[in-house]
Structure 1
């Protein structure tokens, strides 16, 4: 049943040469599997459905946030619960994380989230109308530490312009990373990206915004002395 609902592989027409992620093998727990079986028909969206009218999808006009790579979904669930007047789209390629979020949505009775389980760039290109997002979130993407892998980093000039096209004027691109060299790379890309304004007064990072939940992963990093860098950019034209 699950394979009919969520597919890790996209059709050839949607493939791109360099992926910013690696598909990890992961066994679904019974709870995650139930989340998929029961939650996907209610919350799941697919590339094949094409361009969406999200006001119609959610049945209302509301501020719209899209998160790329929600992991196990804990932060996305917390944000959706904290702001029931907003709608959220989450994208994640890993099945256990999708199952975890869907299970949480069902358990908590949260209805303002919809989920894609496929390549985020293809979702942006194929399903998200231009100038439709109030926020786009990218929290703790894979930093691809080795120099030969930097081309795999999702934050590149072309990606910045794709994000810009999907944000409304005045919309916010919020990024966070615990890897300082990646934060520097993000700043190099976005500080010169046309149409964006860095919301940091000194063109670097901003203090951690209260609306971004602190994850267990982040708390563990703090105990180990790791830093976290939040970046916020506004689409200005």
Structure 2
């Protein structure tokens, strides 16, 4: 048993979902991505614990991204870091198809994809202390107070992520919803085993390695802020 595993940590994560399944039409490109890309780059939750060195055919720094949307940022990060590996998880099939289509078009092979609940993948498929980074960019903020319990960033989630990060590994989050940013900061500053990498204990400037998405640029034009947070696993 990992030294970080406790009776609480071993308990299944809550059943409340932090996402809503949305129906969406598939473009030809997205369908192509699923048809041609999934057999090469798709991974199944049912396969259980993975040896990602074997999956990727090498040892490399490894990033786990929760909810990659349409995959634009994932593609940009993977293209900019060919010596690193990326594991992306997204529940919405059009986004999965878009990422896979982009991989085929750009001939990128350093990404693997799950299409299911990221919490289940973390718990069942990722070895403890095996990830260099975990990314959570622009998760659903669940604005209404009665829905705040659906936010993915909760104390038990923070400990699951910490369990999967290597010592020294980093959790990087970003949101354009200030109340959620404040919630993230409150949860993570209280989470044991982490250190906030912001000098003042708050937010960090946007790191150069996080691509600016179309969604974010539109928000900037509308005067929306974006808050980035980085926490490192200390022990």
Q: TM-score, normalised by structure 2?
A: 0.94
2:179 paired with 1:177 = no
Instruction: Output one character per residue of 1:92-117: Cα deviation in whole Å (capped at 9) or x when no partner.
Output: 00000000000000000000000000
| Structure 1: segments with no counterpart, 5+ residues | 1-13
Instruction: Tell me which residue corresponds to 1:5.
Output: none
C-alpha distance in 2, partners of 1:47/1:15? Answer: 16
Return the TM-score normalized by structure 1.
0.93
1:155-183 residue CA offsets vs partner (Å, 9 max, x unmatched): 00000000000000000000000000000
SS at match of 1:191: helix
Specify the alignment match of 1:154 in structure 2: 152
Contact 2:13-2:156 at 8 Å conserved across structures: no
- Indicate the residue corresponding to 2:69 in structure 1: 71
Matched position secondary structure for 2:18: coil
Matched, 1:143 2:141: yes
2:169, 2:13 → 1: CA distance?
28
Consecutive unaligned residues in structure 2, runs of 5 or more: 1-11
Runs of 4+ in 1 over 3 A off after TM superposition: none
Work out the CA distance in 1 between the residues paired with 2:25 and 2:93.
8
Cα distance in 1 between the residues matched to 2:138 and 2:14 = 22
Deviation at 1:124, TM superposition (A): 0.3
Paired residue total: 224
Aligned to 2:5: none
Root-mean-square deviation (Å):
1.0
